[in-house]
Amino acid sequence: MPRNIDRRSQCPISYVLDIFGDKWTLLVIRDLLIFGKRTYGEISSSDEKIATNILADRLAVLEQEGIIIKEKDKEKGSRFIYSITQKGVDLLPVIIEMIRWSATYDTDTKVPPQMIEKVKNERDAFIKEILDALANNEYLISGMLSRPA
C-alpha cells in the first residue's frame, strides 16, 4: 500500500521532497524516462538493487501521484507495464540537471563522456532528443537511442 503524502507546507521544494525525497524514487523515474525500463523486473534489476517492497511502494506512490501509469501487459497478462505520464516527462530537465551536476562533481560517474558533453553543452537539444525519442517509443541507453524489447 502506498504511503500517504502528508504535505508539511505549501513550499514548492517541500512538495517535491514529499514525493521524491528518498534515495529510490528518482532512480525509478530515471529508469522509466531515460533507460526505458517498463516492467517491475526490469526496474528491480537496476544496478542500485532496490528492495522489492520499496520498489512496490515507490511505484504505487508514483502511480497515485499521476507520474506513471500501470497497465496489464497485453502479451503476458500476469505482468504490468509502467509508463511515464506527461507529469513524469516534465521531470526530464530536473533529471538532466542532476546528471550535469553529478558529472561535474563525481569523478567515478558511469555516464558516457559523449552524454556528459551533450548535457553540459547542448542541454536543450539533448532534452529535445530525449523527448523525440520518447514520442517514438525509444529510450536513451548508455548514450545511444534504442527501442525497448
Over its length of 149 residues, how does the chain's per-residue pLDDT go in tens digits?
455 666 678 888 888 888 888 899 999 999 999 888 999 999 999 999 999 999 999 999 999 999 999 999 999 988 999 999 999 999 999 999 999 999 889 988 888 888 889 999 999 999 998 888 888 877 765 444 444 44
> Of 85, 108, 126, which closes a domain?
85
Neighbour tally for 34: CB within 10 Å: 19
HEC-encoded secondary structure of 120-142: HHCHHHHHHHHHHHHHCCCEEEC
| Beta carbons of 84 and 29 less than 8 angstroms apart | yes
| Beta carbons of 43 and 37 less than 8 angstroms apart | yes
Pair (72, 110) in one structural domain? no
CATH number at residue 66: 1.10.10.10
| Beta carbons of 109 and 102 less than 8 angstroms apart | yes
Pair (8, 62) in one structural domain? yes
Radius of gyration (C-alpha) of the chain in whole angstroms: 16
> Of 41, 63, 85, which closes a domain?
85
Pair (5, 43) in one structural domain? yes
Pair (68, 117) in one structural domain? no
Tell me the whole-structure pTM to 2 decimals: 0.83
Query: Which range marks the domain in which residue 142 is found?
Result: 91-149
Pair (98, 80) in one structural domain? no
| Beta carbons of 55 and 40 less than 8 angstroms apart | yes
Task: Provide the 8-state DSSP code for 76.
Answer: S
Pair (81, 108) in one structural domain? no
Pair (72, 26) in one structural domain? yes
Q: What total of structural domains would you count in the chain?
A: 2
Pair (69, 99) in one structural domain? no
| Beta carbons of 84 and 67 less than 8 angstroms apart | yes
